[in-house]
Structure 1
């Protein structure tokens, strides 16, 4: 079973995303706290994908993404955002893709499937 780490500070939205992905067979670790040690969570859970809410905590998420890509260059990191220009900026900060809010579940599933079907190995 593939594990997905999700950071979103909105507990209601986080719960909906987590439940939706769990119903698709994923193990999901939802995080809404900004004061977590993201690298320790990655080391512990060994996720195959990470989703980070970019709009709420952009600078922190950029820092996390940069750190993740340095340590785990093949681990996909996707930006979640309600920002109108996220489609233009996510790649500049090292994210592999973005999911614009609001989104429908079909788009969420398609994007997650695109990256969880990759063969990911920790170095």
Structure 2
């Protein structure tokens, strides 16, 4: 099973994203805590993909992405955000892609499938 770590401060949205991904067969681990030990979570869960809400204090979110990429350069990190300019912003900070809120489930599933399957195509 493919595992996705989801970081979002909105508990309702986090629950919906986790349930939706679980319905598609993913193991979805949702976290809303900014104080989480990100690297320990990655090491423990060995995710195939990380969804990181860009609203996590902006620069803090960017720092997390850069930190992840430093130690796990092939681990896809997707920015999710309701920011109007996220499509212009995400790539310059190391994110692999972005999902704009509100999003439809088909787009969420397609993005999750695309990035989790990338790992298995190169093995």
Q: Distance in 2 between matches of 1:14 and 1:33?
A: 11
Give the ranges of 4+ consecutive aligned residues of structure 1 lying more than 6 Å apart after TM superposition: none
Unaligned runs of 5+ in 1: none
TM-score, normalisation: structure 1: 0.95
Question: Who is 1:107 aligned against?
Answer: 107
1:74 partnered with 2:74 = yes
Question: Who is 1:54 aligned against?
Answer: 54
Which structure carries more helix by proportion? Answer: 2
TM-score, normalisation: structure 2: 0.95
Aligned residue pairs, count: 120
Structure 1 position 118, deviation (Å): 1.1
The CA RMSD over aligned residues, in Å, is 0.9
Q: Distance in 2 between matches of 1:83 and 1:55?
A: 8
Q: Distance in 2 between matches of 1:84 and 1:99?
A: 11
Question: Over residues 26-61 of structure 1, what are the superposed CA-to-partner deviations in whole Å (9 max), with x where a residue is unaligned?
Answer: 111100011111011000000000000002432111
Unaligned runs of 5+ in 2: none
Structure 1 position 79, deviation (Å): 0.1
Q: Distance in 2 between matches of 1:56 and 1:38?
A: 13
